[in-house]
Amino acid sequence: MLPTRYVNQDVSLFDRLFNNDMFNRDYSETNTTLPSVNIKENEDKFGVEVAVPGFDKKDFKIELNNNELTISSEKKEEHEKEEGERYTRREFSYQSFRRSFTLPNTVDGDKISAQYKNGVLYVDIPKREEAKPKPAREISIK
């Protein structure tokens, strides 16, 4: 089953500093069924995990345009139905989707990488060296 949520697809990773509720939105301005997404951060990078079982890595397109990261898939759903057969219940399907995220200026767009494993698309978004935290140092008084 493709885990889905109805959420606003234009979400900024940086917005969470100003609005802690940004990932709890449960609506879509376009009424599009979207795969669930986890976004993580550590000192070195952001990580985006997209739950998309039933896809192949060739089904995805990942683009960076200015500071907007877009993850999409155009997947046609094929049904093999026998004559006279109809669904009485249907809980899974694999559909096209498009998710966009505005990235902060602290990321290194040239080093973004992705891999698809066990139904999850992992996107690593490294931070630029100057954006990483520096160790505390003592300043002498003259």
For the whole model, what pTM was predicted? 0.66
Give Cα 59 to chain centroid, integer Å: 15
Distance of alpha carbon 116 from alpha carbon 52, whole angstroms:
9
What pLDDT does 118 receive? Answer: 95
Report pLDDT for 76: 66
Domain residue ranges of the chain, discontinuous segments joined by +: 4-76+93-129
pLDDT at 29: 44
The verdict on domain 4-76+93-129 having CATH code 1.20.1050.10 is: no
Query: What are the tens digits of pLDDT across the range 36-62?
Result: 999 999 989 999 999 998 889 999 999
The tally of CA atoms less than 13 A away on the side-chain side of residue 58 is: 0
The whole-number pLDDT of residue 38 equals: 95
| pLDDT at residue 116, rounded to an integer | 97
**pLDDT of 95:** 76
Residue with tokens 């505005």: 102
Under-70 pLDDT residues of the chain: 1-33, 76-82, 91-94
If you count them, how many residues does the chain have? 142
